[in-house]
Amino acid sequence: MKGYVYYSKAESVRNHLFIDDLIIESEKLGIELRLLTGDERPDSNTDFILFRDRDTGRAFQFERDGLRLFNRAEVNRIANDKLQTFELATLLGIPAVPTNRILSIDEISSYPCVLKTVDGHGGNEVFLCTSAADTKLFFTKFHDRKLIVQPFIESGARDIRVFMIGNEVVGAVKRTGNGSFKSNYTLGGSVEKYILSSWQEKDAKTISLAIKSDYVGIDFLLLPNGRWMLNEIEDPVGARSLYITHEFSVAGELMRYIKRKLSKD
Protein backbone atom coordinates (compact mmCIF):
# COMPACT_ATOMS: atom_id res chain seq x y z
CA MET A 1 0.00 0.00 0.00
CA LYS A 2 1.38 3.37 -1.03
CA GLY A 3 0.25 6.89 -0.22
CA TYR A 4 1.27 10.49 0.23
CA VAL A 5 0.75 13.10 2.91
CA TYR A 6 0.21 16.46 1.23
CA TYR A 7 1.24 19.81 2.76
CA SER A 8 2.08 23.21 1.40
CA LYS A 9 5.83 23.73 1.43
CA ALA A 10 5.69 26.18 4.35
CA GLU A 11 3.41 23.98 6.46
CA SER A 12 5.54 20.90 5.77
CA VAL A 13 8.40 22.63 7.59
CA ARG A 14 6.25 23.72 10.53
CA ASN A 15 4.70 20.26 10.88
CA HIS A 16 7.80 18.13 10.29
CA LEU A 17 7.47 16.29 13.62
CA PHE A 18 3.95 15.13 12.82
CA ILE A 19 5.02 14.15 9.29
CA ASP A 20 7.88 12.10 10.73
CA ASP A 21 5.47 10.35 13.10
CA LEU A 22 3.07 9.59 10.24
CA ILE A 23 5.88 8.01 8.20
CA ILE A 24 7.15 5.96 11.15
CA GLU A 25 3.67 4.68 12.03
CA SER A 26 2.96 3.89 8.37
CA GLU A 27 6.09 1.75 8.13
CA LYS A 28 4.84 -0.34 11.07
CA LEU A 29 1.67 -1.06 9.08
CA GLY A 30 3.43 -1.89 5.83
CA ILE A 31 2.37 1.39 4.22
CA GLU A 32 4.82 3.35 2.11
CA LEU A 33 4.07 7.00 2.92
CA ARG A 34 5.87 9.90 1.28
CA LEU A 35 5.64 13.66 1.63
CA LEU A 36 4.07 15.59 -1.25
CA THR A 37 4.30 19.40 -1.31
CA GLY A 38 3.44 22.38 -3.48
CA ASP A 39 2.78 21.51 -7.11
CA GLU A 40 4.34 18.05 -6.94
CA ARG A 41 2.24 15.24 -8.40
CA PRO A 42 1.75 11.73 -6.98
CA ASP A 43 2.73 8.57 -8.82
CA SER A 44 0.13 6.80 -10.92
CA ASN A 45 0.01 3.83 -8.54
CA THR A 46 -0.95 5.91 -5.49
CA ASP A 47 -3.57 4.37 -3.19
CA PHE A 48 -4.41 7.51 -1.22
CA ILE A 49 -3.46 11.05 -0.23
CA LEU A 50 -3.69 12.27 3.35
CA PHE A 51 -4.58 15.86 2.49
CA ARG A 52 -3.25 18.35 5.07
CA ASP A 53 -3.92 21.70 3.45
CA ARG A 54 -6.68 24.30 3.14
CA ASP A 55 -6.51 24.53 -0.65
CA THR A 56 -9.96 23.15 -1.45
CA GLY A 57 -9.46 23.63 -5.19
CA ARG A 58 -6.37 21.42 -5.13
CA ALA A 59 -8.27 18.79 -3.14
CA PHE A 60 -11.05 18.70 -5.74
CA GLN A 61 -8.44 18.44 -8.53
CA PHE A 62 -6.85 15.41 -6.86
CA GLU A 63 -10.30 13.79 -6.68
CA ARG A 64 -11.00 14.58 -10.33
CA ASP A 65 -7.74 12.78 -11.08
CA GLY A 66 -9.22 9.70 -9.43
CA LEU A 67 -7.28 9.86 -6.15
CA ARG A 68 -8.69 8.82 -2.78
CA LEU A 69 -8.40 11.66 -0.25
CA PHE A 70 -8.49 11.65 3.52
CA ASN A 71 -10.39 14.04 4.16
CA ARG A 72 -12.60 14.39 1.12
CA ALA A 73 -12.52 17.72 -0.70
CA GLU A 74 -16.10 18.40 0.40
CA VAL A 75 -15.09 18.12 4.07
CA ASN A 76 -12.29 20.59 3.39
CA ARG A 77 -14.73 22.99 1.72
CA ILE A 78 -17.22 23.00 4.61
CA ALA A 79 -14.64 23.13 7.40
CA ASN A 80 -12.82 26.08 5.85
CA ASP A 81 -15.96 28.17 5.47
CA LYS A 82 -17.30 29.33 8.85
CA LEU A 83 -20.63 30.33 7.34
CA GLN A 84 -21.08 26.86 5.80
CA THR A 85 -20.19 25.36 9.18
CA PHE A 86 -22.88 27.40 10.94
CA GLU A 87 -25.47 26.48 8.31
CA LEU A 88 -24.58 22.80 8.72
CA ALA A 89 -25.00 22.99 12.49
CA THR A 90 -28.38 24.68 12.07
CA LEU A 91 -29.56 21.86 9.80
CA LEU A 92 -28.34 19.25 12.31
CA GLY A 93 -29.91 20.97 15.31
CA ILE A 94 -26.53 21.50 16.98
CA PRO A 95 -26.24 24.72 19.07
CA ALA A 96 -23.84 27.04 17.25
CA VAL A 97 -22.56 30.59 17.47
CA PRO A 98 -24.90 32.71 15.27
CA THR A 99 -22.97 33.63 12.13
CA ASN A 100 -23.84 36.04 9.31
CA ARG A 101 -22.11 37.31 6.20
CA ILE A 102 -21.32 41.01 6.48
CA LEU A 103 -20.66 43.43 3.64
CA SER A 104 -20.83 46.78 5.39
CA ILE A 105 -20.03 48.34 8.76
CA ASP A 106 -23.58 49.71 8.80
CA GLU A 107 -24.92 46.17 9.19
CA ILE A 108 -23.59 45.97 12.77
CA SER A 109 -26.27 47.14 15.19
CA SER A 110 -24.66 46.37 18.56
CA TYR A 111 -21.28 45.92 20.22
CA PRO A 112 -19.24 44.02 21.26
CA CYS A 113 -19.14 41.67 18.30
CA VAL A 114 -16.63 39.30 16.77
CA LEU A 115 -15.50 39.77 13.18
CA LYS A 116 -13.73 37.02 11.25
CA THR A 117 -12.61 36.17 7.77
CA VAL A 118 -14.76 33.30 6.61
CA ASP A 119 -11.75 31.06 5.89
CA GLY A 120 -9.21 32.14 8.53
CA HIS A 121 -7.64 29.69 10.96
CA GLY A 122 -5.52 29.62 14.09
CA GLY A 123 -7.24 32.68 15.56
CA ASN A 124 -5.12 35.11 13.53
CA GLU A 125 -8.02 36.66 11.60
CA VAL A 126 -10.47 36.93 14.50
CA PHE A 127 -11.11 40.29 16.20
CA LEU A 128 -13.28 41.41 19.10
CA CYS A 129 -14.74 44.77 18.12
CA THR A 130 -16.18 47.10 20.76
CA SER A 131 -16.81 50.13 18.56
CA ALA A 132 -17.34 51.28 14.98
CA ALA A 133 -13.68 52.37 14.96
CA ASP A 134 -12.54 48.80 15.67
CA THR A 135 -14.81 47.53 12.92
CA LYS A 136 -13.46 50.05 10.42
CA LEU A 137 -9.91 48.90 11.10
CA PHE A 138 -10.93 45.27 10.51
CA PHE A 139 -12.70 46.12 7.25
CA THR A 140 -9.69 48.08 6.07
CA LYS A 141 -7.30 45.25 6.83
CA PHE A 142 -9.43 42.55 5.20
CA HIS A 143 -11.21 44.57 2.52
CA ASP A 144 -10.58 41.91 -0.11
CA ARG A 145 -11.85 38.95 1.94
CA LYS A 146 -15.24 37.41 2.64
CA LEU A 147 -16.21 38.45 6.17
CA ILE A 148 -18.60 37.22 8.85
CA VAL A 149 -19.90 38.68 12.11
CA GLN A 150 -20.82 36.87 15.31
CA PRO A 151 -22.11 38.11 18.66
CA PHE A 152 -19.54 38.09 21.45
CA ILE A 153 -20.41 35.11 23.65
CA GLU A 154 -18.95 35.00 27.14
CA SER A 155 -17.07 31.73 27.56
CA GLY A 156 -14.26 32.74 29.88
CA ALA A 157 -11.95 32.29 26.85
CA ARG A 158 -12.52 28.54 27.13
CA ASP A 159 -13.36 26.08 24.42
CA ILE A 160 -13.29 22.35 23.80
CA ARG A 161 -11.58 20.82 20.79
CA VAL A 162 -12.82 17.33 19.99
CA PHE A 163 -10.58 15.18 17.79
CA MET A 164 -12.47 12.77 15.56
CA ILE A 165 -11.07 9.90 13.49
CA GLY A 166 -13.94 8.59 11.43
CA ASN A 167 -16.95 8.72 13.70
CA GLU A 168 -15.01 8.01 16.89
CA VAL A 169 -13.74 10.48 19.46
CA VAL A 170 -10.01 9.85 19.97
CA GLY A 171 -9.49 12.67 22.44
CA ALA A 172 -10.60 16.10 23.58
CA VAL A 173 -8.85 19.08 25.14
CA LYS A 174 -10.02 22.17 27.00
CA ARG A 175 -8.22 25.30 25.85
CA THR A 176 -8.13 28.50 27.91
CA GLY A 177 -6.95 31.84 26.57
CA ASN A 178 -4.07 33.75 28.14
CA GLY A 179 -5.13 37.39 28.43
CA SER A 180 -7.29 37.14 25.32
CA PHE A 181 -10.80 36.02 24.40
CA LYS A 182 -9.14 33.58 21.97
CA SER A 183 -8.38 30.14 23.41
CA ASN A 184 -5.97 28.90 20.71
CA TYR A 185 -3.05 26.92 22.13
CA THR A 186 -0.74 28.23 19.40
CA LEU A 187 -1.51 31.79 20.54
CA GLY A 188 -0.30 31.14 24.08
CA GLY A 189 -3.37 29.59 25.69
CA SER A 190 -3.21 26.67 28.11
CA VAL A 191 -4.51 23.20 27.39
CA GLU A 192 -5.66 20.22 29.44
CA LYS A 193 -7.25 16.86 28.78
CA TYR A 194 -11.05 16.92 28.75
CA ILE A 195 -13.52 14.07 29.13
CA LEU A 196 -16.71 14.48 27.12
CA SER A 197 -20.14 13.80 28.54
CA SER A 198 -22.47 11.49 26.62
CA TRP A 199 -24.44 14.40 25.12
CA GLN A 200 -21.23 16.17 24.07
CA GLU A 201 -19.95 13.04 22.37
CA LYS A 202 -23.29 12.70 20.58
CA ASP A 203 -23.05 16.26 19.20
CA ALA A 204 -19.52 15.65 17.90
CA LYS A 205 -20.46 12.35 16.29
CA THR A 206 -23.53 13.90 14.66
CA ILE A 207 -21.29 16.43 12.91
CA SER A 208 -18.59 13.98 11.81
CA LEU A 209 -21.19 11.53 10.50
CA ALA A 210 -23.01 14.25 8.55
CA ILE A 211 -19.89 15.40 6.70
CA LYS A 212 -18.38 11.90 6.44
CA SER A 213 -15.03 13.12 7.75
CA ASP A 214 -11.92 11.03 8.33
CA TYR A 215 -9.91 13.25 10.68
CA VAL A 216 -11.13 16.63 11.97
CA GLY A 217 -11.15 18.79 15.04
CA ILE A 218 -14.48 20.22 16.17
CA ASP A 219 -14.34 23.33 18.36
CA PHE A 220 -17.10 24.23 20.83
CA LEU A 221 -17.26 27.31 23.05
CA LEU A 222 -17.74 26.23 26.67
CA LEU A 223 -20.46 28.37 28.26
CA PRO A 224 -20.75 29.38 31.95
CA ASN A 225 -23.94 27.32 32.33
CA GLY A 226 -22.15 24.09 31.34
CA ARG A 227 -23.57 23.93 27.81
CA TRP A 228 -21.61 24.55 24.63
CA MET A 229 -21.95 25.98 21.14
CA LEU A 230 -20.23 24.87 17.96
CA ASN A 231 -17.70 27.45 16.82
CA GLU A 232 -15.61 25.88 14.04
CA ILE A 233 -14.58 22.66 12.32
CA GLU A 234 -10.84 22.33 11.68
CA ASP A 235 -9.49 20.57 8.58
CA PRO A 236 -6.61 20.10 8.65
CA VAL A 237 -6.51 20.00 12.43
CA GLY A 238 -3.24 20.37 14.34
CA ALA A 239 -2.54 17.70 16.94
CA ARG A 240 -0.02 19.45 19.21
CA SER A 241 -2.46 19.80 22.10
CA LEU A 242 -3.52 16.17 21.73
CA TYR A 243 0.06 14.89 21.92
CA ILE A 244 0.69 17.01 25.02
CA THR A 245 -2.38 15.79 26.91
CA HIS A 246 -2.76 12.18 25.75
CA GLU A 247 -0.42 9.20 25.76
CA PHE A 248 -0.84 7.80 22.28
CA SER A 249 0.23 8.61 18.74
CA VAL A 250 -2.60 10.21 16.82
CA ALA A 251 -0.54 9.54 13.68
CA GLY A 252 -0.66 5.84 14.48
CA GLU A 253 -4.41 5.89 15.08
CA LEU A 254 -4.96 7.80 11.85
CA MET A 255 -2.86 5.46 9.71
CA ARG A 256 -4.56 2.38 11.18
CA TYR A 257 -7.91 3.96 10.31
CA ILE A 258 -6.77 4.67 6.73
CA LYS A 259 -5.54 1.10 6.29
CA ARG A 260 -8.87 -0.28 7.54
CA LYS A 261 -10.85 1.96 5.22
CA LEU A 262 -8.77 1.04 2.17
CA SER A 263 -8.90 -2.67 3.01
CA LYS A 264 -12.72 -2.53 2.93
CA ASP A 265 -12.85 -0.92 -0.54
| CATH number of 120's domain | 3.30.1490.20
- pTM more than 0.85: yes
CB atoms within 10 A of CB 96: 22
The domain total for the chain is 3
Instruction: Report the CATH number that the domain containing residue 195 is assigned in CATH.
Output: 3.30.470.20
Arithmetic mean of pLDDT over the chain:
93
Q: Are residues 47 and 119 in the same domain?
A: no
pLDDT in tens, 233-264: 999 999 999 999 999 999 999 999 999 999 98
Say if residue 146 is in the same domain as residue 162. no
Most confident of the ranges 11-25, 142-156, 169-183? 11-25
- Which pLDDT score, from 0 to 100, does residue 248 have? 95
Bridge partners (DSSP) of residue 131 are: none
Which structural domain, as residue segments, surrounds residue 27?
Answer: 2-75+257-264
Give 179's pLDDT tier (boundaries 50, 70, 90). low
- Note the pLDDT tens digit of each residue in 105-117: 999 989 999 999 9
User: pLDDT tens across 195-240, in order?
Assistant: 999 999 999 999 999 999 999 999 999 999 999 999 999 999 999 9
* Domain contains 252: no
- Same domain? For 6 and 54 the reply is yes
Give me the pLDDT at residue 220, please.
97
pLDDT over 70 (residue 184): no
Residue 46 lies inside a defined structural domain of this protein: yes
Question: What backbone phi and psi angles, to 5 degrees, belong to 254?
Answer: -65, -45
